[in-house]
């Protein structure tokens, strides 16, 4: 194994030591916060030590490029460093710090002449600003940058304002270069590799994702004096919607639906709610099936609200179609995994990733390593060091091969 395992683990620990306080609450590198800035600054210093050409675009994506000029199309590796609230130590950051180790090893051991780069994409998680995968979404020109800059968080701070505050509003335009290929190393964030005792997951693609924000409007009144027949209670409708959504979410059809957040107003024990706002996360490998599920849910909401004299509003936050990754790259990954004697299997990603955005502009794939017990987006998120290092070693060998072809 040519990669420097101690150097990688030391760097990973340094990024994960950035905390908002000393409490044992997990990782909190929310996009475009001071914690995110600290991690960005550290990674840029590492890039500078390798004499990479550093470029920052107009959504704050960071690119460290080797042997790059305006006419080159580099092999691009990378992921993200922002986290969910109270998240884990490996989601995203493995793909960044691991890719940095690969590039450094390639430079030190192989004296490469080809162009290669490391990408650190902005706001992959979508916790503070929606949609998720915003940096890669913007880089691949899915939306006008002026519109993206006006997206606000719950405090009405725009993306552009947040970028300026941490000094990461770059000058490079969207898609200022076109990668030759893109490869992302990531933890699986699910139990499949762990349950099947496999070292490596070769990712065939990413399933379709739709996010909805739904508001139900009732009328507040006294909980103790208002008869049931005189109530306009959105909680009754919400309960029925929740049950209906649960009935639609079945593993048999690869359909997953989650109500992930809910806000009740005025949120008092003795007052009937006047508003309930909640989100729905829907995922399916098949675009058509996901669209059908979305229409069923919307139709049910309309019917239930009409029956209970409740007004409603539905806003679509995210709609990403399913993506298939490059078969040629996957065959190269499989061949090198076999040579290295790493057990492996093909699988589809249940989570969204920056790679699904890059797949629209260049041949793309992903390498997964196991998540212990399938836990992710939680402080208990864990992957064994030996599995992390296998993933990086495989990424190194595949990258070396892709640079030649």
Give CA–CA dist 152/174, Å, rounded. Answer: 20
CATH topology of domain 208-320: Alpha-Beta Plaits (3.30.70)
Per-residue pLDDT at 251: 67
User: Across residues 128-150, what is the average pLDDT?
Assistant: 94
User: With bands split at pLDDT 50, 70 and 90, how would you rate the model's confidence at 173?
Assistant: very high
In percent, how much of the chain has pLDDT > 70? 98
User: Across residues 359-372, what is the average pLDDT?
Assistant: 98
Question: DSSP assignment of 120-162, as one string?
Answer: EES-SS-SSSSSSSHHHHHHTTSS-HHHHHT-B-TT--BHHHH
Paired residues of 87 in beta bridges = 27
Model confidence at 314: pLDDT above 70: yes
Read off the pTM. 0.88
**Listed residue (120, 95, 104, 90) closest to 385, CA to CA:** 90
**Listed residue (75, 116, 87) closest to 26, CA to CA:** 87
Phi, psi (degrees; rounded to nearest 5) at 201 = -110, 125
User: Across residues 177-189, what is the average pLDDT?
Assistant: 98
- Alpha helices, DSSP H only, in 310-353? 327-339
The tokens for 56 are 């920052």
- Domain segments of the chain: what residues? 5-207+322-404, 208-320
User: Across residues 189-216, what is the average pLDDT?
Assistant: 96
Model confidence at 21: pLDDT above 70: no
Identify whether 64 is preceded by a cis peptide bond (ω within 30 of 0).
Answer: no
Is there a shared CATH topology between the 5-207+322-404 domain and the 208-320 domain? no
The number of beta carbons lying within 10 Å of the beta carbon of residue 226 is 16
At residue 87, the 3 state secondary structure works out as strand
Q: Is the dihedral of CA 141, 330, 204, 345 positive or negative?
A: negative
pLDDT tens-digit readout, 243-267 = 999 999 876 678 999 999 999 999 9
CB-based burial label for 69 (10 Å; 0-12, 13-18, 19+): exposed
Q: Would residue 179 be called left, alpha or beta, if left means φ above 0 and alpha means ψ between -120 and 50 degrees?
A: beta
What average pLDDT is seen over the chain?
95
Q: For domain 5-207+322-404, give the CATH superfamily.
A: Zn peptidases (3.40.630.10)
- Alpha helices, DSSP H only, in 188-345? 192-196, 234-248, 287-307, 327-339
Strands 208-217 and 275-284, sheet pairing: antiparallel
Per-residue pLDDT at 326: 98
């Amino acid at each position: 194994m040519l990669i420097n395992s101690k150097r990688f683990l030391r760097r990973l620990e340094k990024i994960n030591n950035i905390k908002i306080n000393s409490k044992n609450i997990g990782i909190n590198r929310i996009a475009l916060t001071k914690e995110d800035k600290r991690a960005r600054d550290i990674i840029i210093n590492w890039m500078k030590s390798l004499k990479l050409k550093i470029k920052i675009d107009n959504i704050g994506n960071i690119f460290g490029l080797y042997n790059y000029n305006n006419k080159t199309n580099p092999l691009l590796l990378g992921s993200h460093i922002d986290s969910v609230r109270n998240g884990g130590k490996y989601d995203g950051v493995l793909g960044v710090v691991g890719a940095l180790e690969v590039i450094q090893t390639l430079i030190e051991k192989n004296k490469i002449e080809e162009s290669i780069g490391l990408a650190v994409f902005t706001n992959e998680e979508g916790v503070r600003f929606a949609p998720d995968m915003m940096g890669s979404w913007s880089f691949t020109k899915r939306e006008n940058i002026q519109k993206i800059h006006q997206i606000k968080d719950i405090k009405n701070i725009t993306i552009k304002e947040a970028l300026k505050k941490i000094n990461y509003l770059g000058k490079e335009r969207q898609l200022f270069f076109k990668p030759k290929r893109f490869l992302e190393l990531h933890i699986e964030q699910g139990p499949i590799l762990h349950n099947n005792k496999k070292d490596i997951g070769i990712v065939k693609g990413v399933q379709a994702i739709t996010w909805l924000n739904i508001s139900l409007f009732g009328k507040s009144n006294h909980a103790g004096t208002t008869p049931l027949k005189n109530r306009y209670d959105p909680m009754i409708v919400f309960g029925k919607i929740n049950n209906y959504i649960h009935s639609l979410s079945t593993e048999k059809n690869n359909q997953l639906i989650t109500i992930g957040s809910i806000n009740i107003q005025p949120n008092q024990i003795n007052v009937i709610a006047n508003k309930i706002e909640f989100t729905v996360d829907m995922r399916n490998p098949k675009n058509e099936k996901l669209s059908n599920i979305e229409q069923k849910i919307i139709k049910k909401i309309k019917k239930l609200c009409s029956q209970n004299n409740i007004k409603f509003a539905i806003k679509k936050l995210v709609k990403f179609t399913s993506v298939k990754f490059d078969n040629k790259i996957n065959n190269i990954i499989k061949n090198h995994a076999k040579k290295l004697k790493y057990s492996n299997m093909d699988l589809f990603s249940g989570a969204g990733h920056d790679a699904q955005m890059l797949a629209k502009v260049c041949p793309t794939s992903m390498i997964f390593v196991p998540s212990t017990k399938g836990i992710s987006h939680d402080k208990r998120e864990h992957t064994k060091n030996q599995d992390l290092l296998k993933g990086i070693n495989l990424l190194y060998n595949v990258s070396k091969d892709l640079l030649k072809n």
